[in-house]
Amino acid sequence: MGLTLTEKILKAHLVDGEFVKGREIGIRIDQTLTQDATGTMAYLEFEAIGVPRVKTERSVAYIDHNTLQSGFENADDHRFIGSVAKKHGIYFSRPGNGICHQVHLERFGIPGKTLIGSDSHTPTGGGIGMIAIGAGGLDVAVAMGGGAYYITYPKIVKVNLTGKLSPWVAAKDVILEVLRRLSVKGGVGKVIEYCGEGVKTLTVPERATITNMGAELGATTSVFPSDEVTLEFLKAQDRAEVWTELKADEDAVYDEEVDIDLSKIVPMAACPHSPDNVKTVEEIGKLKIDQVCIGSCTNSSFMDMMKVAYILKGKTVHPDVSLAIAPGSKQVLNMIAQNGALATMIDAGARILESACGPCIGMGQSPNSKGVSLRTFNRNFEGRSGTKDGQIYLVSPEMAALSALTGYLTDPRELGEMPVFEMPRQFVINDNMVEPPAAEADMDSVEVLRGPNIKPYPETHPLVESIECPVSLKVGDNITTDHIMPAGAKILPLRSNIPAISQHCFTVCDEDFPRRAKNLGKSIIVGGVNYGQGSSREHAALAPLYLGIKAVLVKSFARIHRANLINAGILPLTFVNEADYDKISQGDDLAIENVRADIAAGKTELTVINRTKGVEIPVLCELTGRTKDIMLAGGLLDYTRESLR
């Protein structure tokens, strides 16, 4: 029986466990990346582990999230990250060099390698045939120290692509179609592997758009084969020597299969407030818009920018619309500046932003109240834009650009005949904004620079004998990490200061939660289905840890957030019977007796006693040997330090 591409790469990197579906495996990590919103904490954790120099083949620290420097905090974090990188063997991508996933695809990604990043859209690397996975910062720190990265051995879904996209239909529409079919939780515990004759019709940037938004499926990652299209992209980046042909065996067996005829896909949009709330442009109708934002790690490539410039050429942005464009990297910005496309955008009235994440994480460009904003981004969660009642639609760059001219949501097929947009034979190569680390012989002379906003990792303790505390918060289904730990220009600068940022924890749902949780001293959170979907930010676990959360009891978890809770030493529990969710109210006193002994003994079913209502509720706590030991130790940091000793 042949192997899938996913199985080939995972087996080549296996260091612990067996290839049995649903079992935990540990894989060797070749590359890591961090960004500055998660990086400061990741490097504090790496320092705490005590390994002097990274043991990966390549680790890169990017500055792309907190680039709005309205106070000292972000600049101090950047200085800290730069100095840690220089000292410990990490490459440092300076502010202005671009968005981590775009730059990594261009300059560092290698087919067949493993990559984990402290950002949920790390699967972008699957566009060139990597197994690239989003993870918590502590997982990245452990990998940099030479530790394995652990995942549940996934189911593998074959998405068989046939045909070819019609003119003005985009790769964004492909992933929106997948989301429409599978939903935001349809990829949990799975890798999405793209195969079929249709693959060769897609460029690497188009493939990367599709794998990028695989994160919105809840998938472990997504991957394309490495073929002649991949080779041409790497040649144009002067990196042909890293290419390897990689594909699934003809007789590979998949757990699920999905067939998509690219020729039948039409322009679509994800409507507020979820990436899987997908409708065709015809279904939505003539929607008046207020704002258009083009960019993010999903759609900011050179090819995206060239299509946008073509549509805008000789036109003027509608007077009722604000158009903002952020090229994804310095390379892209340089190239459109040199060939005149940037001037075309400026002439049309576009507002040019720096090569960074910007509006995608609520860092500027928030729409007006109740404003309709078309964005080429990957998420449209409520309030994520920075405007609580903003109406965010996720669309292709082609639809975004044309709609900016007309003032309403417009089908890009109205543009008529589509010219041929060809990938460049040679990209402009200039890595002068990537600082290499100090030589190993010189690392001791490098001083790590810390600002006053940088606080240590929250205090942790081994798992207690019994948990007895009230429910400080009860929430519903599809709670995102933006609900738990919001982003935005006001809050992101506090990512290196857990005591300060914890004051914003869950305030989207309940403004009194931080004060109430802190006053209680210890408490439990209860939630619904798909709890913790969205970003990989471990702050959504660290802030609750600081506020005294001992356990989170929900109907189901998103993968990365559950891992982050375990890493933080917070007990992740799920209802055996989802109907028992209704037997608990906020404020109820709960008890989990003898929890340490039960977990140490390997029990997976525990009992939660609701003392207020006088009922017993069976819950699952499914921990493997390793995650069990992490929980008993009080978290991954304590477990790793003990292991190194």
Question: What are the CA-CA distances from residue 645 to residues 137, 624, 638, 639 (Å)?
Answer: 22, 22, 11, 10
Contacts of 462 (CB under 8 A, 6+ apart): 632, 633, 634, 638
Mean pLDDT, residues 480-492: 88
Beta bridge partners of 60: 33, 91
User: Where does the pLDDT of residue 162 fall: very low under 50, low under 70, confident under 90, or very high at 90 and above?
Assistant: very high
pLDDT digits (tens, 9 = 90+) for 78-136: 999 999 999 999 999 999 999 999 999 999 999 999 999 999 999 999 999 999 999 99
In the block, residue with structure tokens 């790793």:
640
pLDDT value, residue 454: 92
Cite the active site residues. 64-65, 119, 379, 535, 537
Q: Per-residue pLDDT for 363 more than 90?
A: no
pLDDT value, residue 212: 98
Q: Per-residue pLDDT for 374 more than 90?
A: yes
Q: Tally the C-alpha atoms within 13 A of residue 589's C-alpha that lie toward its C-beta.
A: 6
pLDDT value, residue 99: 98
Q: Per-residue pLDDT for 283 more than 90?
A: yes
Supply the DSSP string of 130-197, one letter for each residue.
-EEEE--HHHHHHHHTT--EEEEPPEEEEEEEES-PPTT--HHHHHHHHHHHH-TTTTBTEEEEEESG
Mean pLDDT, residues 142-168: 96
CATH of domain 467-644: 3.20.19.10
Q: Classify strands 91-93 and 434-435 as parallel, antiparallel or unpaired.
A: antiparallel
pLDDT value, residue 488: 82
Domains 5-264 and 268-415 alike in fold:
yes
User: Where does the pLDDT of residue 490 fall: very low under 50, low under 70, confident under 90, or very high at 90 and above?
Assistant: confident
pLDDT digits (tens, 9 = 90+) for 515-534: 999 999 999 999 999 999 98
**How crowded is residue 376: how many other Cβ atoms within 10 Å of its Cβ?**
28
Q: Per-residue pLDDT for 143 more than 90?
A: yes
Q: Per-residue pLDDT for 645 more than 70?
A: no
Instruction: Provide the residue count of the chain.
Output: 645
Letter string b/e over residues 439-471, b meaning 16 or more CB atoms within 10 A of that residue's CB: eeeeeeeeebebbebbbebbeeeebeeebbbbb
pLDDT value, residue 459: 86
Superfamily name and number for 5-264? Aconitase, domain 3 (3.30.499.10)
Please answer whether residues 354 and 96 qualify as being in contact, where contact means their C-beta atoms are separated by less than 8 angstroms. Answer: yes
Is the bond leading into 273 cis (omega within 30 degrees of zero)? Answer: yes
User: Taking the domains of the chain in order of start, what are their residue ranges?
Assistant: 5-264, 268-415, 467-644
Q: Per-residue pLDDT for 493 more than 80?
A: yes
The continuous run of DSSP H or E covering 106 comes out as helix 100-107
Distance CA 496, CA 502 (A): 11
Q: Per-residue pLDDT for 148 more than 90?
A: yes
Superfamily name and number for 268-415? Aconitase, domain 3 (3.30.499.10)
Nearest CA-CA partner of 169 in 397, 348, 364: 397
Q: Per-residue pLDDT for 403 more than 90?
A: yes
Task: Give the mean pLDDT of the chain.
Answer: 96
User: Where does the pLDDT of residue 149 fall: very low under 50, low under 70, confident under 90, or very high at 90 and above?
Assistant: very high
pLDDT digits (tens, 9 = 90+) for 290-325: 999 999 999 999 999 999 999 999 999 999 999 999
Beta bridge partners of 219: 188
CA angle 324, 346, 371 (to 5 degrees): 25
User: Where does the pLDDT of residue 624 fall: very low under 50, low under 70, confident under 90, or very high at 90 and above?
Assistant: confident
pLDDT digits (tens, 9 = 90+) for 231-253: 999 999 999 999 999 999 999 99
Q: Which residue has the higher pLDDT, 490 or 508?
A: 508
Q: Tally the C-alpha atoms within 13 A of residue 590's C-alpha that lie toward its C-beta.
A: 31
pLDDT digits (tens, 9 = 90+) for 430-472: 999 999 999 999 999 999 999 999 998 888 899 999 999 999 9
Distance CA 486, CA 489 (A): 10
Tokens, residue 8:
């080939």
Q: Strand order of the sheet with strand 131-134?
A: 131-134, 114-117, 31-35, 58-62, 91-93, 434-435
